[in-house]
Structure 1
Amino acid sequence: MTVHTCALIKSALVTETRGERKERTRRAILDAALQLCEDSSLVALSLRQVAKEVGIVPTAFYRHFDSIEALGLELVDESFASLRAMLLDVRRSDPDFDDIIDSSIGILVEHVHQQRAHFRFIVRERAAGPPRVREAINAAIEQFEKELATDLVRLTGTTTWSPEDLQILSGLIVTAMVGLAEAILRNPDRPDAEKAIVEGARVQLRMVLVGALNWRSKR
């Protein structure tokens, strides 16, 4: 092995180590922001608070994010990404209304438990966050509605619907799912209450779909 090759390998290892260290710091900043926002909103959070919580100097914050608002946008993306992908898989693998309802609710409930801090963040910032963060959350929810409307046309009973009516139905479904997540967050550590909430959401969605399947769209 030549001296030049050894130098290249050493350089690659150093670069990888620095990359891993940077990613750990970035992750620590995101986690610190989630924790510090538990009882307030991003609008009340300063980068100095975050930097102090992570153990870095304030100027180091800018190596990862341009602003607190940019950090918030990253948390929005992080909060929705995996849930959106899993719900898409459910709808596209088993086009049956009852199965879609049960599977989608199951996935949502699981995500709320696994990523409670992220969902609490979304609920808070949707109402009181910085403008760009609120817009990003609403845009993500609208994207859910658009994707659902696209998939609904593949299901029996909706093939003759207008795009506008499909959008209305998808909006009703997504609104019910958002309400379910918020209700679970309002009742932490109460299994009986959560069970009733989940069952109520399941019945609500089935009632919506029963009515929808009897709808005749005017084109």
Structure 2
Amino acid sequence: MSEAIRSVTRQEQKERTREAILASALELSQELGFAQVSIRQVTRHAGIVPAAFYRHFESMEQLGLTLVEQSFATLRRMIRDAQRDPHVLDNIIDESARVLVEAVRQNKAHFGFVSRERIGGSPVVREAIRHELDLFVSELAVVLARLPNIENWHSDDVRMASRLFVRNMVDHAEELAELPVSSDGLEHRIRERARREMRLIVIGFRDWHS
């Protein structure tokens, strides 16, 4: 086996170990809460020795920050992809509700993690989640600023509107993350409720004077 092939194999194994650690921490946090999960529990669950943990993460806090980053990555990517589609601006309410449901469906464990840790997690993880939500507010504000009735608003008011959207989405994402498997009817109802509430927010744009 050539050195190049051995290097690729080692890198693949390293990445598999890292993913096993993350997956184990995510699964254990569902049962115990992330703040109660120890390095020893994670490594036992992942089937590795404790020393292997430190080749990937300095501490459980760093592991928690990585889980937060992973949890928001898909949603942020889907929002950015949606921004490139001119159809989205014409149907922002329906598209926002659709993106929300699809993102939670693809990453239910991660959204469950955010839901649990956003309020009851460790201070470091809570702060990381708040930071990610603030970034989400800022990115969504860029999209909202292009809408009719809002394009001439002060930036503070655009962020206020964006924050209302994000709070609505977070609330319904937490509901969706708690649904059991095969709950299409309930999922549809939550999506419809999110759509109606966002529509109510948008209707208020016409009468708001920045």
What TM-score does the superposition give when structure 1 sets the normalisation length?
Answer: 0.90
- 1:16-41 deviations in Å (ceiling 9; x for gaps): 11000000000001011111111222
- 1:195-217 deviations in Å (ceiling 9; x for gaps): 22211110110011011132121
1:131, 1:213 → 2: CA distance? 39
- 1:151-176 deviations in Å (ceiling 9; x for gaps): 22222211210111101100000000
Change (3 A) 1:96 1:23: closer
Secondary structure class of the residue paired with 1:37: helix
Q: 1:214 aligns with which of 194, 207, 210?
A: 207
Q: 1:74 aligns with which of 51, 66, 74?
A: 66
User: 1:184·1:194 contact (CA, 8 Å) conserved in 2?
Assistant: yes
User: 1:123·1:182 contact (CA, 8 Å) conserved in 2?
Assistant: yes
Q: 1:162 aligns with which of 154, 157, 161?
A: 154
Code of the residue aligned with 2:208 in structure 1: it is W
CA RMSD of aligned residues (A): 1.6
What is the CA-CA distance between 1:98 and the residue it aligns to? 5.5
Secondary structure class of the residue paired with 1:38: helix
Secondary structure class of the residue paired with 1:216: coil
Q: Point out 4+ residue stretches in structure 1 off by more than 4 angstroms.
A: 95-98
1:109, 1:41 → 2: CA distance? 24
Q: How does 1:83-122 map to 2 (within 5 A)?
A: 83-94=75-86, 99-122=91-114
Q: How does 1:1-219 map to 2 (within 5 A)?
A: 10-94=2-86, 99-189=91-181, 190-217=183-210
1:137, 1:66 → 2: CA distance? 20
In the alignment, structure 2 segments of 5+ residues that lack a partner are none
1:73, 1:23 → 2: CA distance? 18
Choose 92-101 or 122-131, whichever is displaced more. Answer: 92-101
Choose 97-106 or 120-129, whichever is displaced more. Answer: 97-106
How many corresponding residue pairs?
Answer: 209
In the alignment, structure 1 segments of 5+ residues that lack a partner are 1-8
What is the CA-CA distance between 1:95 and the residue it aligns to? 6.5
Secondary structure class of the residue paired with 1:39: helix
Choose 86-95 or 174-183, whichever is displaced more. Answer: 86-95
Structure index of larger Rg: 1
Change (3 A) 1:106 1:85: same
What is the CA-CA distance between 1:113 and the residue it aligns to? 1.5
What is the CA-CA distance between 1:96 and the residue it aligns to? 5.6
